[in-house]
Amino acid sequence: MGAADSARAGPPPFPLGAYVGNPNGSNANAEAQYEANYNSFVKAMKARPGFNLTYIDYTQPVTDWPSNAGWSAWSSAQSPDTRGLVPVIGFPMASVASGSPTPDQQFQSFAAGTYDAEIQAVVQAWATEGFKSLRFRVGWEMNLQGPTYAGDTPQDEADWIAAFRHIHNVIKAAARAAGVAAGVVWNPGATNWSYVSATKSLYPGDAYVDMIGADMYSDMYPYSDGGSPPTYYDWDTGQEDTSIAQFIADPINRAHYWTYPAADKWTLDGSDGHSQTFVSLMQFALLHKKIFDVPECGAGNSNNGTDVLDDPTFPQWLAQQLAAFEAAGGQVGRVGIWDSNGGGNYEFSYPSDNKPQESAAWMTYFGGG
């Protein structure tokens, strides 16, 4: 029994997932680093995750996605830690590879069945490596501008919904044919603004969604109260903060922001309905009687001053919201904690990360301690 095994003290309060990088069956050094990252997470959390976050590479052409998924599945099967976890697969709906059609054109192609063979091959790749349960985050974070964005226009959004519905159906049929279980997650990100007409208008319908998910990070971009230089209403003191750093330093402001990210001095939603909060997405899951997932969450991204470095408040706040959701009759499917500096300064489990309070809070509220 290793150190990671002996560290486990009890079951986590919510089904636990993790992202600590990617297993790499082709490179011994990279694989050793992955295993070290995994064991660091287990030691810090005093619990093993049941789910592993993985992604199809949207920088590759769609026709290459089966081979990319095959390599990820094979690498996961080679890892002594990851082979027993349920893969939570980020499935893009468009490629950004050079020469690719526009995202909307690719949405139309998916809806028309052009890429059915690729979808089927992705499912089969994981089934071939012995994974019996799969989760697919189709077009995740579609409401955030970036490589998985659904688009601004009504046509873009209608085509995105049609593509999602078709991908759902093909995934389900392919899973049945392969003898595996597959769940499909509708997965926006919590945000204080989105250019889509309304995030909930992208909902494809209950028949095409198994779980509703929300990605939630501690990064803060509070609305100013105007003026030059801008000021920010302090929800603790009732005064005006003269900088974002002053606002962020107070944990009461941080918790208020995560609950109402588009709030300003005068209203709790200064986005005119364009904000989609973590709480509102939980309420949406309750309304539709869907399991609620947190596919990605992380704290402490201080690279550009969007949070304090060592933030125990965020894990506590997140656990409180999920507990309230369960008390209202909801079911939490899983919580995928981002313990990696891929995409920001979110890694916490190594002592060298200098996040002892945050690490302890993750363990207290989501681990086996």
Whole-number Å distance between alpha carbons of 189 and 8: 31
Q: Give residue-wise pLDDT tens across range 9-34.
A: 578 999 999 999 999 999 999 999 99
| pTM, full prediction | 0.95
Name the phi and psi angles at 17, rounded to 5. -125, 170
Quick check: is 252 in a domain? Answer: no
Quick check: is 253 in a domain? Answer: no
Under a CB-based contact definition with an 8 Å cutoff, are residues 8 and 368 in contact? yes
Whole-number Å distance between alpha carbons of 366 and 295: 14
In CATH, what number is assigned to the domain containing residue 280?
3.20.20.80
Quick check: is 254 in a domain? Answer: no
Whole-number Å distance between alpha carbons of 327 and 350: 34
Answer whether residue 8 shows pLDDT above 90. Answer: no
Q: How many other CB atoms are found less than 10 A from the CB of residue 283?
A: 15
Number of domains composing the chain: 1
Q: Give residue-wise pLDDT tens across range 32-79.
A: 999 999 999 999 999 999 999 999 999 999 999 999 999 999 999 999
Quick check: is 287 in a domain? Answer: yes
Give helix 65-78 / helix 116-128 axis angle, nearest 10°: 10
Structural Rg of the chain based on CA atoms: 20
Quick check: is 142 in a domain? Answer: yes
Quick check: is 114 in a domain? Answer: yes
- Full domain range(s) for residue 33: 3-221+261-366
Quick check: is 202 in a domain? Answer: yes
Whole-number Å distance between alpha carbons of 109 and 120: 15
Answer whether residue 196 shows pLDDT above 90. Answer: no
Q: Name the one residue in this structure whose structure tokens are 């769940």.
A: 183
